[in-house]
Amino acid sequence: MSRPARRFPKEFLDRYSQFIPDFSEFLEAMQTPLRRTFRINSLKTSRDRALELLSDLRPKPIPWTDLGFSVEDGDRLGLRIEHFIGLIYVQEAASMVPPLFLSPLPRERVLDLAAAPGSKTTQMSAMMQNSGLVIANDQSPGRVRALISNVDRAGCLNVVVCRRDGGILASALRGSCDRVLVDAPCSSEGTIRKSTEALDRWSVAAIRRFSGVQRRLALAGYDALRPGGTMVYSTCTLAPEENEQVVAELLRSRPEARVLPASLPGLKTRSGLAGFNGQEFPDSLALAARILPQDNDTEPFFAAVVQRAAL
């Protein structure tokens, strides 16, 4: 049964029609329920074995990752035994992108500054082959419980979980991390495809409120990098105030930082914006990635790869 069309606030339509050129396709995609996707957990099983166990669901590959798949009938995917014992992780397809941009390597020290519920933490742990160290942090007691549960279920032995203010923790780790992921708390416009509540609570005031938190976390995350280290800043929102503007302010505060290209084979992205509401952003932000729902059948996402200058 089709879902009734959603009524987007006029302010939402006015602001995003300014810089999303194929806007009617965007709105149609935002009203289409998300497909169910999952990631194979290479810490516990092989790709071939997982696909054999899930063959009744006829998984279809996600083009930008060998371990990601979508299924047509995935309403009960989270109840499968394969999920319960950690062979797979039910994860939105665009959510798999920031760790792939970050590309953590075995034996590195990685900080996941806003980690709960753990989808990207567990993905990075697997990419690192359970070696090195992933410091997974979240300030919320409830969200930390979910993070611990998912880390345990996925068999991640190289993860330490912290419950601290992200800025304070990053300050304590200043200059020591090879890579940092700041998948920042945001207004979550990307979740409109799976939750009417996200649209019901949407407001420009919320966007502005989150942007202050994001600027602080992005700067703290960058300062936790060792010289030559790499950070990915990402959100599941469309708002320039939470995306390009946050990175632009980081670049102004840390002029030695540089933005690297963010791309993956098989993933269609749009360039970061040149400006918004009369504010111009640095030219290098064109290298950031905007992931729109109509391009890859995902949630909207934003990600920028930032490198700290080597000594």
- When pLDDT is averaged across residues 189-198 and rounded to a whole number, the result is 87
Provide the pairing of β-strand 225-235 with 301-307: antiparallel
Looking at the chain, how many residues does it have? 311
Q: How much is the mean pLDDT over the chain?
A: 95
CB 226 within 8 Å of CB 308: yes
- When pLDDT is averaged across residues 110-121 and rounded to a whole number, the result is 97
**What pLDDT, in 10s, does the model give residues 48-85?**
999 999 999 999 999 999 999 999 888 889 899 999 99
**Roughly what angle, to the nearest 10 degrees, separates helices 141-153 and 119-127?**
40
Predicted TM-score (pTM) above 0.85: yes
Domain range list for the chain: 10-31+93-307, 35-91
pLDDT at 133: 98
- When pLDDT is averaged across residues 136-141 and rounded to a whole number, the result is 94
Known catalytic residues are 236
- Positive or negative, the CA dihedral 120, 111, 206, 268 is negative
CB 291 within 8 Å of CB 302: yes
The confidence band for 279, taking pLDDT boundaries of 50, 70 and 90, is very high
- Does the domain at 35-91 match CATH 3.30.70.1170? Answer given as yes
- When pLDDT is averaged across residues 231-259 and rounded to a whole number, the result is 97
How many percent of the chain have pLDDT more than 70? 98
The confidence band for 197, taking pLDDT boundaries of 50, 70 and 90, is confident
Single out the residue of 121, 103, 96 nearest to residue 231, CA to CA: 103
Q: 9 is written with which tokens?
A: 């606030």
Q: Is the pLDDT of residue 4 over 60?
A: no
**Roughly what angle, to the nearest 10 degrees, separates helices 204-223 and 244-253?**
40
Name the residue type at position 143.
Answer: R
Q: Is the pLDDT of residue 2 over 60?
A: no
- Which CATH number is associated with domain 10-31+93-307? 3.40.50.150
pLDDT at 90: 97
**What pLDDT, in 10s, does the model give residues 19-42?**
998 999 999 999 999 999 999 999
Return contacts of 75-82, CB within 8 angstroms, 24+ apart.
75/36, 77/36, 77/38, 80/54, 82/50, 82/53, 82/54
